[in-house]
Amino acid sequence: MKKRINVNKSENTSTEFFIQPGKDEVYHFDEKLDKYEKELLTENVLRQIKIEREDNNMRKGWKRCQIAAACLGAMLLVPGSVFATVKISEYFHSQVSVEDYQMKVDIHKENMQSATKAPEKYIKISTDFGSAYKLDKEDTGMYIFNHKDGFDAGKDFWYQVIKVDGNKDTIYSTYDNEVVNNLEINGHKAVYFKTNETVGTEYSGKYDTCYGKHLLVFYDEYGYILQFNSMNKLKKASLIKLAESVSVTESAKDKASGYTLLSTYMKNPISANIQSTIKEDKKITVPVLNTGKKLEHNQFSIKVDNVKIMNSVKDLDMSSFKTSDYSVLWDENGKLKPYKRENLKAGNGKDEPEKKVVNREVITPRFVHITMSVKNNGKEKEIFCLPDVVFASQKNGEYYLTDIYNNSNRPAIIEDAFIDHMPCYFKETAGGKSFWIQYLKAGEEKTFNFAYLADEDMADKMLLRIDDGSDSDKNMKYIDISH
């Protein structure tokens, strides 16, 4: 999946930077930049990617759409012939067990022999999903289909062919299931399960395009499993109908359909939820500077000149919101509108749901406006990327990072503003969200005006985080902008 990042080059021009994930990163530029600019741009965009990946790790275990999409794109799919298996099952019996919110799939293998003695079976798969679906991508053993009504319809799905190998008995374990049903598909055992999003939420619509519905069909006699995953708007009956339209027959090796070995799949199971671990707030181990103090970081001198908490956008340059839909956040007079925040109880996903709404409270968001001076002390032109914002509590004079995602749930538009920790407003780019970069010539100093969206009761927990793109916490710099 190609990732688009808008980058501002000056007040009047901008370029678009594309990233094609893969074994080797591939970069595409809409405009012809010189070699120096491309190197700088690449370095700073990778910083943005690091922020997003770090944020995903922080929220590991929560089934968010972004994480599901990332897993889908990153999964390693390798032809079965590449791997030499120690043992292979001539056939197997599948068994599904359910306890509270947890489901396990066990494979009971019989006639286990060495791979050189056991005859391998291959299958040919034929499908007819009708005119509503179009094959978007086919990789080894995985087939991704898009619905004619588009992504937002929430009806896309994909299926994967898994060949059972190895000696493990428990091959599949999921947590936080809302529904688990044993079925029969074309005479074969199957199990349908739907994962919880947030139990009791009023904002279920934002999960429509998450891949939260799953179906496993066991072809025991061949030693294969077909796994179907669909977006949440696709009805259970429709997903079952899609699975029923699949025909599986034994085939010669040279005419067989592609597959993924179970041992390969288990290294990165896409739809097997990871049981979340409730972690304590993480202590910040580097000094935190106060507003007004100058920070020397790499070749830049950085100083926060002013922090202003705003309940209205009337004093902001409205052209800086032209690329976003944030206008729904304020009324006709520019005043920010309140919303209902859902406060959550965290569970282990095994005997209680991972996320459950315990109460709601009316919250009015604020724009936290920052005025920052930045000087390039280097001898060449450099790119400066705005810092991201994090939230922290203080105990005995020390700071502890707080995860605001696991304990609260918000409407999609509010969450969109929070999700990447980056500003929603940047006056000097007149571009809004995703426009976070500016060039500074050697010795040049600029003043930037930008703003983050935050809940009204979070303004006293805000820190700006500045890093050099590395993974080390020691290289992080923090500025306290709390009010």
H/E/C letters for each residue in the chain?
CCEEEEEECCCCCEEEEEEECCCCCEEEECCCCCHHHHHHHHHHHHHHHHHHHHHHHHCCCCCCHHHHHHHHHHCCCCCHHHCCCCEECCEEEEEEEEECCEEEEEEEEECCEECCCCCCCEEEEECCCCCCEEEEEEECCEEEEEECCCHHHCCCEEEEEEECCCCCCEEEEECCEEEEEEEEECCEEEEEEEECCCECCCCHHHHCCCCCEEEEEEECCCCEEEEEEECCCCCHHHHHHHHHCCEEEEECHHHCCCCEEHHHHCCCCCCCCCCCCCCCCEECCCCEEECCCEEEECCEEEEEEEEEEECECCCCCHHHHCCCCHHHHECCCCEECCEEEEEEEECCCCCCCCEEEEEEEEECEEEEEEEEEEEECCCCCEEEECCEEEEEEEECCEEEECCCCCCEECCHHHHHHHCCCCCCEECCCCCCCCCCEEEECCCCEEEEEEEEEEEHHHHHHEEEEECCCCCCHHHCEEEECCC
Question: Which comes out higher in pLDDT, residue 471 or 443?
Answer: 443
Which of 6-10, 313-317, 324-328 has the largest mean confidence? 313-317
Task: Label residue 79 by pLDDT band (50, 70, 90).
Answer: very low
- b/e 301-316 (16+ beta carbons within 10 angstroms → b): ebbbeebebbeebeeb
Q: What pLDDT does residue 83 have? A: 25
pLDDT reading at 352 higher than 50: yes
Choose the final residue of a domain: 231, 265, 299.
265
Structure tokens at 247: 């025909």
- What domain range is 293 assigned to? 277-480
Q: Is residue 385 part of a domain?
A: yes
Q: What pLDDT does residue 169 have? A: 63
CA atoms of 44 and 27, how far apart (whole Å): 13
Q: What pLDDT does residue 85 have? A: 27
- Kindly state whether residues 124 and 189 are assigned to the same domain: yes
Question: Which comes out higher in pLDDT, residue 293 or 322?
Answer: 293
Alpha-carbon Rg of the chain, whole angstroms?
A: 26
Q: What pLDDT does residue 146 have? A: 96
Please state, as a whole number, how many other Cβ atoms lie within 10 Å of the Cβ of residue 430.
Answer: 18
CA atoms of 277 and 265, how far apart (whole Å): 23
Q: Is residue 126 part of a domain?
A: yes
- Kindly state whether residues 224 and 369 are assigned to the same domain: no
Range 287-314 average pLDDT: 90
Q: What pLDDT does residue 7 have? A: 41
- Kindly state whether residues 255 and 295 are assigned to the same domain: no
CATH, residue 191: 3.40.1000
- b/e 376-413 (16+ beta carbons within 10 angstroms → b): beeeeebbbbbbbbbbbeeeeeebebbbbbbebbbbeb
- Kindly state whether residues 148 and 290 are assigned to the same domain: no
Range 160-172 average pLDDT: 75
Length of the chain: 483
Task: Label residue 148 by pLDDT band (50, 70, 90).
Answer: very high
CA atoms of 90 and 412, how far apart (whole Å): 49
pLDDT reading at 57 higher than 80: no
Which of 233-237, 381-385, 397-401, 468-472 has the largest mean confidence? 233-237
pLDDT tens profile 252-261: 999 999 998 8
pLDDT reading at 232 higher than 60: yes
Task: Label residue 296 by pLDDT band (50, 70, 90).
Answer: confident
Q: What pLDDT does residue 299 have? A: 86
Q: Is residue 65 part of a domain?
A: no
Structure tokens at 9: 């080059």
Structure tokens at 402: 């707080």
Whole-model pTM? 0.69
Choose the final residue of a domain: 230, 265, 300.
265
Question: Which comes out higher in pLDDT, residue 292 or 101?
Answer: 292
Q: What pLDDT does residue 18 have? A: 39
- Kindly state whether residues 431 and 287 are assigned to the same domain: yes
Quick one: 139 exposed, middle or buried, by C-beta within 10 A (0-12, 13-18, 19+)?
Answer: middle
**If you average pLDDT over every residue of the chain, what do you get?**
76
- Kindly state whether residues 317 and 463 are assigned to the same domain: yes
CA atoms of 343 and 455, how far apart (whole Å): 13
Q: What pLDDT does residue 420 have? A: 77
Task: Label residue 471 by pLDDT band (50, 70, 90).
Answer: low
Choose the final residue of a domain: 265, 291, 315.
265
Range 33-40 average pLDDT: 47
Query: Where is average pLDDT lowest: 167-181, 274-288, 309-323, 400-414?
Result: 274-288
- Kindly state whether residues 139 and 252 are assigned to the same domain: yes
pLDDT reading at 147 higher than 60: yes
- Kindly state whether residues 286 and 240 are assigned to the same domain: no
pLDDT reading at 344 higher than 60: yes
Question: Which comes out higher in pLDDT, residue 475 or 450?
Answer: 450
Q: What angle, rounded to 10 degrees, do the helices at 35-58 and 65-74 form? A: 120
pLDDT tens profile 105-122: 776 655 444 443 456 889
Question: Which comes out higher in pLDDT, residue 235 or 276?
Answer: 235
Query: Where is average pLDDT lowest: 37-51, 87-101, 222-236?
Result: 37-51
- Kindly state whether residues 343 and 430 are assigned to the same domain: yes
pLDDT reading at 70 higher than 70: no
Q: What pLDDT does residue 464 have? A: 93
Query: Where is average pLDDT lowest: 117-126, 344-353, 374-383?
Result: 117-126
- Report the relative pairing of strands 14-20 and 365-376 from DSSP bridges: unpaired
Q: Is residue 465 part of a domain?
A: yes
Structure tokens at 341: 């925040």
Task: Label residue 24 by pLDDT band (50, 70, 90).
Answer: very low
Q: Is residue 413 part of a domain?
A: yes
Q: Is residue 45 part of a domain?
A: no
pLDDT reading at 235 higher than 90: yes
Q: Is residue 57 part of a domain?
A: no
Task: Label residue 350 by pLDDT band (50, 70, 90).
Answer: confident
Q: What pLDDT does residue 12 have? A: 38
Q: What pLDDT does residue 139 have? A: 84
Q: Is residue 440 part of a domain?
A: yes
Residues of the chain above pLDDT 70, percent: 69
Residues of the chain above pLDDT 90, percent: 36
Task: Report how many domains make up the chain.
Answer: 2
Contact 7, 435 (CB under 8 A): yes
Range 114-136 average pLDDT: 81
- Kindly state whether residues 180 and 321 are assigned to the same domain: no
- Kindly state whether residues 176 and 250 are assigned to the same domain: yes
Q: What pLDDT does residue 283 have? A: 87
Q: What pLDDT does residue 441 have? A: 94
Question: Quick one: which of 18, 29, 61, 49 has its CA closest to 278?
Answer: 61
- Kindly state whether residues 390 and 410 are assigned to the same domain: yes
Map tokens 């030499």 to a residue.
84
